[in-house]
Copies of this chain bind each other. A is one copy, B any other.
Amino acid sequence: MAIRSISHNDEESFKVPLNGPNFAVVYMKFTLTKTDPESRARAGELHTDHGVISTPIFMPVGTAGTVKAVHQKELKTEIGAEIILGNTYHLYLRPGLDLIEKAGGLHKFINWDGPILTDSGGYQVYSLSDIRKIKEEGVKFQSHIDGSRHLFTPENVMDIQRTIGADIIMAFDECTPYPCDYKYAARSLEMTHRWLKRCCKRFDETESKYGYQQNLFPIVQGSTYTDLRKRSAEFVAKQDRVGNAIGGLSVGEPAEEMYAMTDVVTQILPKDKPRYLMGVGTPANILQSIALGIDMFDCVMPTRNARNGMLFTSEGFINIRNAKWKDDLSPIDLNCPATTSHTHSKAYLRHLMISKEMLGSQIATLHNLSFYLWLTKEARKHIIEGDFHSWKNQMVKKVSTRL
């Protein structure tokens, strides 16, 4: 395997393997800037063709080609987003691949020039589609929009993600529910591993359609079983891809189980590659998982909860619809970078939410995402400054307080 090394001053630099048929190509580079002495937290930099991502990072979810209620420009100016997510299942069904390809890929279609990650569609097939049949070949399902029938296989999900054109794409897996009996979890895991081999093969046989690099992340599964998680992490590590993900958590299990599984897996996944904990979570979940060595997060919580009036702030979480905030003319959160969080009062935002005004969801979403990005950036700062552990313990208490 061809290897090319890139080194930077003052940074620990890792050699990145060159996958795929085009050996002139250097795939995503990940550099570790600092590792926390008191935990497994890391600060790093992930280089993609659409920009550098400073880790740990939270990735706002842009399901159908839009982070709900947020303008693309605001993702940069108000939120400080460095990478956003798209959902393969949603984008495949609507607007469909033809239009995305005609536009020159998802970045151009939605007018976002930063990095994008797409999930593999697996999670949505299991949670959203009306009918689904999982077989060795892949998953047959009916669209939740119009009932039309479709088949996702490891191969065509790679092809679909090639057409969508995200910088980071995910392997097609089965995301087991919670609880899940051991036998099912073990059988599912073996299939997910066979699917992973098929994903890697198809990915390596195909090329990016739009002239920039795409990078495939495999996903560790294994439900809440330590031995399955270990086996899966070892299998995934052996594939030697440029980054790795942990799936099948944050699906209803107690937080302690999630941390235990994350702990097991991050001890096995290679240190020199970014680790992405899928679908996690609350601010406290994120801080605890950073301490376990996770670099990347995504979750609908900040956006979805914002639309219901739940705000995450640097002092704790609040339900802005409560009468308690009716006359509170203090700013939403002065620590939060979003301009609207400084300039609008809690009472005004409450009025908008109670009146079901769209601007309420807009301001609350900007706030929550801005807070999540602030939180991961603060974590990074404290990892670099060397006081992450004590800061994290204080912060977990704060963000878990209901105001």
Contacts and interface: CB of A to CB of B under 8 A. Distances in A.
Nearest to A352: B66
Give the copy number.
2
Interface residues on A, range: 35 or more
Contacts of A94: 351, 354-355
Contacts of A110: 348
A336 to B, nearest CB: 16
A69 interface: yes
Contacts of A66: 352, 357-359
A141 B99 CA distance: 52
A344 interface: yes
Nearest to A70: B359
A65 B343 CA distance: 15
Contacts of A73: 339-340
A347 interface: yes
Contacts of A68: 357-359
16 contacts: A65-B351, A65-B352, A66-B352, A66-B358, A68-B357, A69-B362, A71-B340, A73-B339, A95-B326, A99-B327, A102-B329, A103-B329, A103-B347, A103-B348, A358-B361, A358-B362
Interface of A: 64-73, 94-95, 98-99, 102-103, 109-111, 326-327, 329, 339-340, 343-345, 347-348, 351-352, 354-355, 357-359, 361-363
